[in-house]
């Protein structure tokens, strides 16, 4: 990929990230800003200390006992993810890789959508 294409892609990502986070939604990771220097570009997002849903559910096998508490927790995680995705869709942003690895958790294990480079904004 040439440098002009990379710069355009980066600028588009920064713009979409800004649009996704404008209303400070409870289930979309905050976008703090961007930085660049020579050939390096950085997008800065809110830190999520709980890791990914993939790590919690698949690798660590958390919430897998079948207890009512675990079922309630997994249901809440799904609702958190759905609320974040609905927010992105309302902003006309389509997340093209919906997966547990793209869902982050905070210290209270609330689920947040992370905006990443495979999102696309649909323009009217």
Q: Which pLDDT score, from 0 to 100, does residue 115 have?
A: 57
> CA 65, CA 47: separation in Å to the nearest integer?
29
Known catalytic residue: 97?
yes
Q: Which pLDDT score, from 0 to 100, does residue 45 have?
A: 84
Q: Residues 6 or more apart from 77 whose CB is under 8 A from it? A: 53, 63, 103, 105, 109, 111
What is the full per-residue pLDDT of the chain (124 aa) written as tens digits?
456 657 787 777 777 777 777 777 888 888 888 887 777 778 888 888 998 999 988 877 888 888 899 999 999 999 999 999 898 888 888 877 788 888 999 999 889 877 555 445 444 4
Q: Which pLDDT score, from 0 to 100, does residue 2 have?
A: 52
Mention the CATH class of domain 3-121: mainly alpha
93-95/103-105 β-pairing:
unpaired
Q: Which pLDDT score, from 0 to 100, does residue 75 have?
A: 93
> Residue for token digits 């309302």?
90
Report how far apart, in Å, the C-alpha atoms of 31 and of each of 4, 12, 71, 75 are: 23, 14, 31, 26
Q: Residues 6 or more apart from 46 whose CB is under 8 A from it? A: 29, 30, 31, 32, 112
Options 39, 70, 97, 106, the catalytic residue:
97
Q: Which pLDDT score, from 0 to 100, does residue 81 have?
A: 92
């Amino acid at each position: 990929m040439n440098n002009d294409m990379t710069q355009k892609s980066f600028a588009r990502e920064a713009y979409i990230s800004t649009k996704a986070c404008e209303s400070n939604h409870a289930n979309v990771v905050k976008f703090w800003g961007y930085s660049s220097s020579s050939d390096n570009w950085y997008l800065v997002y809110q830190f999520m200390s709980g890791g990914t849903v993939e790590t919690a559910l698949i690798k660590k096998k958390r919430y897998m006992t079948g207890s009512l508490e675990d079922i309630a927790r997994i249901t809440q995680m799904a609702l958190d993810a759905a609320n974040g995705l609905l927010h992105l869709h309302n902003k006309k942003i389509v997340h093209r890789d919906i997966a547990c690895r793209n869902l982050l958790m905070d210290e209270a294990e609330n689920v947040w959508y992370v905006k990443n480079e495979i999102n696309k904004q649909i323009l009217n």
